[in-house]
Structure 1
Amino acid sequence: MAKVGILMGSDSDLPIMSKAAKLLEEFGIDYEMKVISAHREPDVFVSYAQSAESRGIEVIIAGAGGAAHLPGMCAAMFTLPVIGVPIHTKSLGGVDSLYSIVQMPSGIPVATVAINGAANAAILAAKMLAITDTELRRKLVDYKEDLKEQVVAKDEKLNKIGYDAYLEQM
């Protein structure tokens, strides 16, 4: 049963939001992914948000661009955590999305990650779920150790071949 709902307002958000799905898969977290427009199909959106908890969803990751109402509206109808992913926009570079998501009224919080930060949204969702799941917590520890090892390997490579050669390989 899915524990995380990944929502996006448009399929154009999929390249970004798929990063959340990939990380949830790496952590072994079941999820469902939907394209639902809060503006174009409000009845479908309301039904989804109101039924999510009863279907086992514990965290919603909602990506949205522009007016970016999807995460905030989820938070208004879903009691459990909502993580907003502001999507980069051509007109304002995603700052419009960011402001729309972080400027929620008192009482309706949305945890918000960086513009296009779907990977961090998945990690944050995993951390929320790990509060009561020790196996998932162990996977998060391993993940952080792997990140550290990647940086150590990059430093060793840089010192071995020099910055010019390193840049050529990037």
Structure 2
Amino acid sequence: MGVCVLLGSKSDLEKAQGAFEIFRQFDVDFDVHIASAHRTPEMVKNIVQNSKHDAFLVFAGLSAALPGAVAALTTKPVIGVPLSGRVPFDSLLSMVQMPKGVPVAVVGVDNVINGALMCIQILAIKDERLERKILEYRERMREKVAKDDEEVRRYVQS
């Protein structure tokens, strides 16, 4: 089990780091490839068809064709992470408007953390260890909010 990560270009690597950190934190196997739906379609096909992983996390900007190309080649879940650029919402609009029958789940622009967590939640359907880790992760978030609330109230009241 794991996640196959595809980046549309090397410039996406910096933004993708947050997802890699989440996968490492949850001890989820992943691999990373750079491929282009337009410039290297055969490479995309080869990566998708030979992937041993159970989900795809696909980063793309501009026309954001890569997640749809991946989805067309597999029945496994594809989560798209639209990346901001000169026109910040072009990739988001491209991803959420996939043709009927070839769905891509899409998270917010540059929201690599939610993309990674969505992959982990999908894997957790069949992995109780991951489910427990997600619950622990959420508990730590709740604890942080409660601590922050206490600190802010104390600060304002003093």
- Tell whether 2:151 aligns with 1:152: no
Aligned to 1:36: 35
Please state whether the residue corresponding to 2:148 is helix, strand or coil.
Answer: helix
Q: How many residues align?
A: 157
SS at match of 1:29: coil
Write out aligned runs for 1:1-170 (5 A).
3-52=2-51, 56-90=52-86, 92-93=87-88, 95-162=89-156
Q: Return the TM-score normalized by structure 2.
A: 0.95
Q: Which amino acid aligns with 2:22?
A: L
Alignment root-mean-square deviation, CA: 1.3
Q: Which runs of 5+ in 2 are unaligned?
A: none
Give the alignment's TM-score, normalised by structure 1.
0.88
Task: Give the CA deviation at 1:160.
Answer: 2.1
Q: Secondary structure in 2 aligned to 1:89?
A: coil
* Cα contact 1:6–1:17 (8 A) shared by 2: no
* Structure 1: unaligned runs, 5 residues or longer: 164-170
Separation in structure 2 between the aligned mates of residue 58 and residue 50 of structure 1, nearest angstrom: 12
How far does the alpha carbon of each residue in 1:14-68 deviate from its partner, in whole angstroms, 9 at most, with x for none? Answer: 122111111011111010011112222222111111222xxx2100000000100
Deviating beyond 6 angstroms after TM superposition, the runs of 4 or more aligned structure 1 residues are: none
Q: Is the Cα contact below 8 Å between 1:63 and 1:84 reproduced in 2?
A: yes
